[in-house]
Structures are given as structure tokens and as C-alpha cells.
Structure 1
Amino acid sequence: MKKLLIPLFSIAVMTSCGTAKMTEGTSSNPVSAKHDKAFSDAYRIIKAENLKKNLYVIASDEMEGRDTGSKGQKKAGEYIVNYYKNLGISYPKSLGSYFQKVPSDFMKKRGGGNLPDSENILAFIEGSEKPEEIVVVSAHYDHVGTKNGVVYNGADDDGSGTVAVMEMAKAFQEAKKAGKGPKRSVLFLHVTGEEHGLFGSEYYSENPVFPLANTVVDLNIDMIGRDDPANRGKQYVYVIGSEMLSSQLKVINEAANKKTNNLELNYKYDDLNDPEQLYYRSDHYNFAKHNIPVAFFFDGIHEDYHQPGDDPEKIDYPLLEKRTQLIFTTAWDIANRPDRIVVDKK
């Protein structure tokens, strides 16, 4: 998550950054019967131990805090790309690689100072029936780097979102290998430059690899590995923006939650007039401003936010697993339902 100013009339804000019981599809969650077993098998691939294994690498001192364009961030990017290669998940054909360059000049013009060139990372699973329709699952993989010789590892911000996206990609890929891949295409988007100004997602929205008109939704993950003081010890997640543009997305997400871990879905920040202005504070907003439905999943601001104590040993891995499973289930429904979700709000 990043600190920034909302232009003109706003206040100063900080930009963000067990086995579940599963029921059959309902009218609000119309996954076809033939996909039920495929969903269950894919869902169970998402495990705390895998999330932990990847996070201990992404948020290690070796990555030097993953500041935008830094050597450490590029090293983390190589790890992410090799993960996708090993799973057999490729990149968008039109891009030609996993990397979308985000130029220094682009960031500089938007207040990015002297940041070097950086890269978004894109992994892609093509849909079997509606490949032109794109479901985006996003998280930023940068953090704030090293300060006075101390590494700020950013395990929660946003290492947790980064590894969640990776784990969901693995689940979708296993379903595809079993002959039950998603009907719509799924883009696993790791953006750069979030901490300095949402630069990577803004660059993608202005230079989309797939037409924005064909982009069905962005499910954005920014900090889902811990709890905040108001929710200490609770099984919850904040959900922001899910009914801002579509009357269906919140319904789908709530049905997915009931189908799985039945977390407490906290809508405290789901208000355009909330003083924290969280709807504008992470990468989903660069999709929402183009009228693409979004949902932002978040655990709140805790004592180690942007502090050197945001380390992997402080992550609640069972809760990270449950939140990841919820988001996967939501993505699965949207990718497989007969009709794309509506955009019926402004």
C-alpha cells in the first residue's frame, strides 16, 4: 500500500495497499454440475503450506524490500515467472513474454521521481468457451525497499496478495489439465509501482494487453495475511467496491463465501464517503475508473504497515488460505457462469 493524495477535493490518504464446507451451485452461483468436482479438486490445491513456502521467498531479505525497478524487485519477478513456467502457465501471446515494461518516463510524469524502468508480470490461462472475455486477478509485487540499511520485507503488503495470485493460478491450471479449465480467460496480473502511485496498474489500463471492453472484472488483493486491531483474532476480510459498478458482483462474492469458509465480510470501508477513501487506494481503481467491476480484498492497517516488522513469520497462514480460497471461488464463478456479470451502476 502507498501513501498519496487524492486529487483536488479529497483528504490525504494512504494507498493500499482447515478444509471448508462447499455446497452445490445456486442461482447466484450457477457453476454447472460438470464443473463441481473440478472446482472442488482445484479449490483443495490452495494450501497454507504452499502460500507460506512462496511468501518466505518473496518477502525474504534477498529481495531487498522489492522497491519499484530495483534489483531486488526484479529478482522477485524472476521467481514469480519461473513459478509460472514450472506450472506450464504461459503469457498473453500478443505480449510475447511475461513482462510488460512500465517505463521510467511514464512514472516520472505522474510523480514517480527518478524511478527506473520496471515491469508488470502477466500470466494467462485461455478460456475454453469465451476466451475473448477476461477475468483479472491482480496484486502488486513491489514494496518500499530498504531504509537506512534495514530491509522492509512487505510480507503482508503485498507479498500476501502476490502469493495468493500465484496459488490461484496453480488451482486454475490444475483444473485445465483435468479438462475443466475456465470458460473465460483468466489473467494473473502482478503490477509494479503501486507503492509510489499505482503506476503499474495505471500503465496497464492505458496500454491494455486485452481490450478493456472485454475485461469482465478485476479481483484485486492487497494485504490479506494478517488482522488489524479492530478485528484481532477474527475470521474476516474487508471487501471494498464489489457493488459500486455491478449489482451482481457482491452477490456472487457473498455466495462464494457461504459456499466455502463463511468468513465475516466486513464492509466498513465500502463507502465512497469513508474518510479513508480506500476505494481509490489500490490497483483495482485503475480498472474501476474504466467502468470495469472490481472487488478489493484487504485485511486492514496493522501496526507493521510500512514498517520493518512486516515479516513472513507474522502472517496468519490458515487465514491467508481461507481468504485465498474465497477469492478463488469468486473468480471461478465469474469465469464459468453462462453470462458475463452486468455493469449496471455508475
Structure 2
Amino acid sequence: MKRPTLLLCLAILIVGCSTCQNKSKHAGKATDYVELITANNLKENLYTYASDEFEGRKTGEPGQKKAIEFIKEHYVALGIPSPIADGDYFQEIPASFFNGLTTNGSENVLAYIKGSEKPDEIIIISAHLDHIGISNNGDINNGADDDGSGTVAILEIAKAFKAAADKGHGPKRSILFLHVTGEEIGLYGSRYYADVDPVFPLANTVANLNIDMIGRVDPKHENQRNYLYLIGSDKLSKELHSISEAVNKKYFNMELDYTYNDDNDPNRFYYRSDHYNFAKNNIPVIFYFNGTHADYHKPSDTPDKIQYDLLETRTRFIFQTAWELANRDERIKLD
């Protein structure tokens, strides 16, 4: 009697272990968490972030100070720490750094999730938190698309990564959520991080995914809404470009428009957002962009004009791309 009982127990143990292994292989996929990124959450956050209360978020002004507190409160609520110091999410940038512009000192906001296997390798997801403030006639430039859309996208991406980490499926590489200031007056916040105070060594930075205006449709795509401009993805790492294309093909099937990626593009968008301060340091980048529209840099760039279904899809695409970069076995290579 003892021997059959022992064999039966062993059989149950083997089947149980096999089931656990299968569950383990299935668990921790980006698709398990991507649906946490929703149009409703993006809309709720953006209607606050791009409200008159924030006074256009001009660098160094009271509205920008409200903006950094809003961002910090989200990370605190999510339980995502700062890499600077316990409870200190602000990278202080002195007024002297702004090259004589009449602006007060300002702040980048940093939060991160430590990698489970390769914590010294960093994926940076960035967006600028500032806008152009109040017009001379008193109109508030809310900057819902520019770049409220990128700001709230990062908050949703961070939430999804944190949910995965809480389930034991944290990213292999560390993720830095970097909200930079001073973009509108010369890319100052990203330049400060890259040139003066890189909290993580640039040599350890695998890639920068930069989000600047992803909530609208430009005139070219009015009849084909499911698109996104990508800039820079193939300039330093063809592997990064291939990964991005594969993620899109597998999950989203958006039109990825590379018009502005052309070296001869007269708009020179490659040099005009925060990714450039990483690219100039040989860090592979992707700049996500919906193109310009009639409300660009005007008081009419308001949250009611954001197309939240598109914002959701684009944010999910960036999350899945970041997930792939953070969890693949080998770090992507420079060409």
C-alpha cells in the first residue's frame, strides 16, 4: 500500500510543478497589464493637468510648481519611489542654468522601478511637463496635447509597470519615468539631466522613449486616424527600430509614419524635443508625435479636443515597446 501511495504523490507533484511552470511562462506578459491603460483614466488626469488651475505650466512659474506636485502625488499614491532620495522626486535646476532667461529655478520629476535582473541598465520614458503659460491678453495656454498628453501617458505607463511589479513580474531592467521641465524654452530640463546630473550613468542607459504630443490628429491623417509619427527610431540602432515595428505589427497595426524622420525634413523635429539630448550622447531614441495642428501653442489646445481612444492606443503601444526593451535577454545594440 505504501508504494502506490508514494507513486501517486509523486505523480501529483510532477503535474503540479508542470502546471506552475506553465503559469509562470504565461505570467508577466505585457498583455496582462496593458489594459490597465485606459482612455477614461487618461481623460480624468488630463482634464486636471490641462486645466486653468495650472496656469499654462510656464517654466519656473506657480502653475509649473502645481504641475510637479500633481505628478509627484501620482507616484506617491502608486508607491513608485524616486531614484534621488526617499520622498524627493524633484531634480532641482537653478535659475542660472537657463542662460540668462528671466525664469525662476525649475524642476524635473523623477520616479523609477528597479529592474529585477539587470537593475543597472535603464530605460528612460520621458515627456515634458511645462508649457508656454499665459498670453499677454490673459488667455491661458493649457497645453493639453503639448505635452499634457505625454505627461498623463507616462503616468498610465508607470501604473501598468507597477501593477506588474506588484505581481512579481517587474521589468528585468530599471525604468526611469522622467518628466522634464523647460522644453518650450530650449530643452533645458533634458539637457540638465543628460549634461549635468544624469542620475543614472548615460553609459547604462539603453534607450529613451520620448513622448511629445500624442493626443490629436493632424490634417494629413484626418481620414486615417490610426497612425503615429515616429522619429529617430533607426538613427542609432536598427534593432530598436525593428523591435518597435514588430510590437506594432503584433498588437496594434497602426500606420507608423516616418515622414519627419527624414534627415532632410525641413521641420527638424528630430532636434526639437527632449529625446535629442539623449541621442546626442549616443543613446537610441524614439520620439512619438502626432504632428502639429491648428491649436499648437494656442489657448485652444484644450483637453476637450483630445481623441482619447487614440491616446489610449498610442500609450499602450509605447508601454508594450518599453516592456520589450526592458525584458529582452540582451540589451539593444548601437549600429
Q: Is the shorter-chain TM-score for this pair beyond 0.5, marking a shared fold? A: yes
How far 1:38 moved relative to its partner? 3.7
Q: Name the one with the larger helix percent.
A: 2
Residue pair 1:135, 1:334 contacting (<8 A) in 2 also? yes
Relative distance call for 1:35 and 1:183 in structure 2 (3 A) is: farther
- Partner of 1:219: helix, strand, or coil? strand
Residue pair 2:209, 2:285 contacting (<8 A) in 1 also? yes
Distance (Å, rounded) in 2 between the aligned partners of 1:95 and 1:114: 32
Partner of 1:115: 103
Letter in 1 for 2:131: H
Deviations 1:45-89 (A, max 9, x none): 010000001101110000000000110111011011001100000
Letter in 2 for 1:295: I
Letter in 2 for 1:188: F
Distance (Å, rounded) in 2 between the aligned partners of 1:77 and 1:203: 17
Residue pair 2:28, 2:169 contacting (<8 A) in 1 also? no
Distance (Å, rounded) in 1 between the aligned partners of 2:86 and 2:280: 24
How far 1:39 moved relative to its partner? 1.7
Letter in 1 for 2:233: S
Partner of 1:221: 211
How far 1:258 moved relative to its partner? 1.5
Residue pair 1:269, 1:278 contacting (<8 A) in 2 also? yes
Partner of 2:158: 169
Residue pair 2:205, 2:283 contacting (<8 A) in 1 also? yes
Report the structure number with the largest CA radius of gyration. Answer: 2
- Partner of 1:146: helix, strand, or coil? coil
Distance (Å, rounded) in 1 between the aligned partners of 2:232 and 2:34: 24
1:62 corresponds to which of 32, 53, 64:
53
2:234 corresponds to which of 237, 240, 243:
243
How far 1:41 moved relative to its partner? 2.0
Letter in 1 for 2:174: S
Relative distance call for 1:213 and 1:35 in structure 2 (3 A) is: farther
Give the unaligned 5+ runs of structure 1.
1-32
Q: Does 1:131 find its partner at 2:101?
A: no
Distance (Å, rounded) in 2 between the aligned partners of 1:253 and 1:139: 18
What root-mean-square deviation, in Å, do the aligned CA atoms of Structure 1 and Structure 2 show?
A: 1.4
How far 1:36 moved relative to its partner? 5.4
Residue pair 1:225, 1:299 contacting (<8 A) in 2 also? yes
Relative distance call for 1:74 and 1:130 in structure 2 (3 A) is: same
2:282 corresponds to which of 291, 304, 313:
291
- Count of equivalent residues: 310
Q: Which residues of 2 match residues 6-155 of structure 1 at below 5 A?
A: 34=25, 37-93=28-84, 97-109=88-100, 113-147=101-135, 148-155=137-144
Residue pair 2:121, 2:204 contacting (<8 A) in 1 also? yes
How far 1:259 moved relative to its partner? 2.2
Distance (Å, rounded) in 1 between the aligned partners of 2:26 and 2:65: 37
Give the unaligned 5+ runs of structure 2.
1-23
- Partner of 1:242: helix, strand, or coil? coil
Residue pair 1:59, 1:154 contacting (<8 A) in 2 also? yes
How far 1:35 moved relative to its partner? 5.9
Deviations 1:153-205 (A, max 9, x none): 00000000000011000000000000000000000000000000000000000
Residue pair 2:215, 2:308 contacting (<8 A) in 1 also? yes
TM-score by length of 1: 0.87
Distance (Å, rounded) in 2 between the aligned partners of 1:36 and 1:336: 13
- Partner of 2:184: helix, strand, or coil? helix
- Partner of 1:76: helix, strand, or coil? helix
Residue pair 1:46, 1:168 contacting (<8 A) in 2 also? yes
Residue pair 1:271, 1:279 contacting (<8 A) in 2 also? no
TM-score by length of 2: 0.90
Residue pair 1:260, 1:325 contacting (<8 A) in 2 also? no
Q: Does 1:331 find its partner at 2:331?
A: no
